[in-house]
Chains A and B, each alone.
Chain A
Amino acid sequence: MLAMNYRGPQRVRIDHKPMPEILHPEDAIVRVTRSCICGSDLHLYNGNVPDTRVGTTFGHEFVGIVEEVGPEVHNVKVGDHVLVPFNIACGRCHFCQQGLYGNCHESNPEATAVGGIFGYSHTAGGYHGGQAEYVRVPYANFGPTVIPEGMDLDDAVMLTDVVPTAYQAAEMGGIQPGDTVVVFGAGPVGIMAARCSWLFGAGRVIIIDHVEYRLEFAKNYAHCEAYNFKEMDDVVLFLKKETDWMGADVVIDAVGAEAAGDAMQTITGRKMLLQAGSATALHWAINSVKKGGIVSIVGVYGPTGNLIPIGNVVNKGLTIRANQASVKKHLPRLIEHIQNGILNPKGLITHRVPLEEISDAYRIFSDKLDNCIKPVLIPPRAA
């Protein structure tokens, strides 16, 4: 089968690899019909996530048709077209019982902080991902969800990560009616988080980025205000002025480890990897939220330490909430929103690329070329 093959920082290619096999009684093999490149894949692509081993296949956003099931799989059957949450979750451990599916304790031997994630380094369990023709899906009784009849596959694939992550970002913000919400990062998750903030009753939504075409897109798609931090002397000061010198009620960090905008963070976090990535967006979030406000973090950071202004967190009395999205938990509500026309996830997709051209797709997405917001990969046997 064809599958993406990571060869080193900013070097990926498509190769023939062995077909995945059933390795556990609750496994399924899924033939991929759509997969995406996620903004967080770029942290892997750039070599910023420890224990990203050469030879692995990335891809945690995919949908596909069940081709084979293990002897203990009862909830999906061969031929079902399923969307597969990016979290690999058993559904029965201490954390899954509390709905923390992103923190499953039975899917990742290599680290305890995070559960297993498809195609996201050995730090997230060492699984091959869905940027391939076929993929092994563990715990098939729990994760894979049959795509509702009539749902567009492009909408379905966005339900595997982007939409639930964005929705949870807004939910963790504890947004109250009328609140001012600032979102750092106008990538797919940031734009969708801005859109979802309205669902929780926000009164004003502001998005901050430095790429003009993304800001334009966000303005139209998420009906929010959009500002370019490169046009400001000081983004925190700008936001204070914009919020009547108080700060935002809620700030969402949808950027994570590769934030631009601060030389010291870029050198120590992105280039030298002495921090868990550049914490620029997190600094801005902590400093621009109002006292007593809430900072919600869904941007992905590496596992080592970060230089963050914790003193300001204490002195301002902030609440910080953060997690990988527990996709399965949000699916019923989000499917309802899509079916009712409240959310239009496929509207974020700008590029459809054959799986065979994955090297170019990564470059276009990574370098923000050709006005790219979200690329979808189509395997040759997708139909």
Chain B
Amino acid sequence: METTIAPVNAKNPDFKNIPGWGIDADPKNDPTYPMKDRTDAEQTGYSWERPAQQPVNIEVLHSNERPNVSAVFGTASPPSGLSGQIRRYAFQYSESKFRHWLPLIVADRVNVVEGIVEDIRNGKIPNFFAEKGYKAMWKHNPKGLATNIAITVGVATLAYLWLSGGRNRSRD
């Protein structure tokens, strides 16, 4: 007579009663994790003794795939301004969503403009030539530098012509 086995789930984790459970298990047959030390305490969930929590005295955006802020975290650049608002929106979505990652990329671009404004506000005019390492490029690849500059000037000119043409059209 066939034994009735209750379905195994979180409330009934008694999988060892399933006929044949572990019959072909071989602890040595674990070729796919050479970087991993197997322990006898696998799948114990969120049960380790957590390190002390670093005081959360700045805004820390945390993944919604975890219940908390990790015990330590970086404080490099807390979210601020418009880019910060976009980042806050992104963190409403899990790491499996483009709605998480694409807004973060957009926020990064907005943040670049904010950085230029911040520099100017602090009385610092960004030195694009130096920041882009063009001195080294001039020394080792002058042709590449000339091409870069020509492309930048070309794109800027086209953008200017397009925008000024737009204004003329609107006057017509």
Is B truly associated with A? yes
Whether B141 is near chain A, meaning CB under 8 Å from some CB there, is yes
Chain A contacts of B12 at CB under 8 A?
none
Chain B contacts of A174 at CB under 8 A?
31, 34
Count class of interface residues, chain A: 35 or more
Whether B37 is near chain A, meaning CB under 8 Å from some CB there, is yes
Contact at A93–B48, with CB atoms within 8 Å? Answer: yes
Whether B161 is near chain A, meaning CB under 8 Å from some CB there, is no
- Tell which of A6-14, A149-157, A181-189, A336-344 binds the partner: A6-14
Contact at A98–B37, with CB atoms within 8 Å? Answer: yes
Interface set, chain A 257-303, CB cutoff 8 A to B: 273, 302-303
Minimum CB–CB distance from A356 to chain B (whole Å) comes to 11
Query: Once the chains are docked, how many angstroms separate the CA of A291 from the CA of B87?
Result: 43
Residue in B70, B83, B128, B131 whose CB lies within 8 Å of A109: B70
Supposing A7-B115, A139-B51 touch, asked if A126 and B75 sit within 8 A by C-beta, the answer is: yes
- A324-360 vs B: 1/0 string, CB under 8 Å? 0010010000000000000000000000000000011
Residue in B75, B91, B130 whose CB lies within 8 Å of A359: B130
Contact at B101–A50, with CB atoms within 8 Å? Answer: yes
Contact at A24–B132, with CB atoms within 8 Å? Answer: no
Query: Once the chains are docked, how many angstroms separate the CA of A139 from the CA of B49?
Result: 15
Q: Which residue of B lies closest to A125 (CB)?
A: B74
Query: Once the chains are docked, how many angstroms separate the CA of A323 from the CA of B116?
Result: 36
Whether B162 is near chain A, meaning CB under 8 Å from some CB there, is no
Residue in A94, A126, A329, A370 whose CB lies within 8 Å of B76: A126
Interface set, chain B 62-99, CB cutoff 8 A to A: 62-63, 65-66, 68-77, 83, 87, 91, 95, 98
Minimum CB–CB distance from B17 to chain A (whole Å) comes to 26
Contact at A370–B48, with CB atoms within 8 Å? Answer: no
Chain B contacts of A303 at CB under 8 A?
95, 101
- A200-223 vs B: 1/0 string, CB under 8 Å? 000000000000000000000000
Minimum CB–CB distance from B150 to chain A (whole Å) comes to 17
Whether A55 is near chain B, meaning CB under 8 Å from some CB there, is yes
Whether A180 is near chain B, meaning CB under 8 Å from some CB there, is no
- Give me the 9 closest cross-chain CB pairs, A-B, nearest first: A363-B133, A127-B74, A126-B74, A8-B112, A360-B136, A54-B115, A53-B77, A369-B140, A109-B62
Residues of B within 8 A of A (CB): 31-32, 34-39, 41, 44-52, 54-55, 60-63, 65-66, 68-77, 83, 87, 91, 95, 98, 101-102, 104-105, 107-109, 111-112, 114-116, 118-119, 126-128, 130-137, 140-141, 144
| 20 A–B contacts, CB within 8 A, in A order | A8-B112, A24-B72, A25-B52, A27-B72, A50-B104, A55-B77, A56-B76, A72-B52, A98-B36, A106-B71, A106-B72, A107-B73, A109-B60, A112-B95, A116-B70, A122-B77, A139-B72, A304-B98, A363-B137, A364-B136
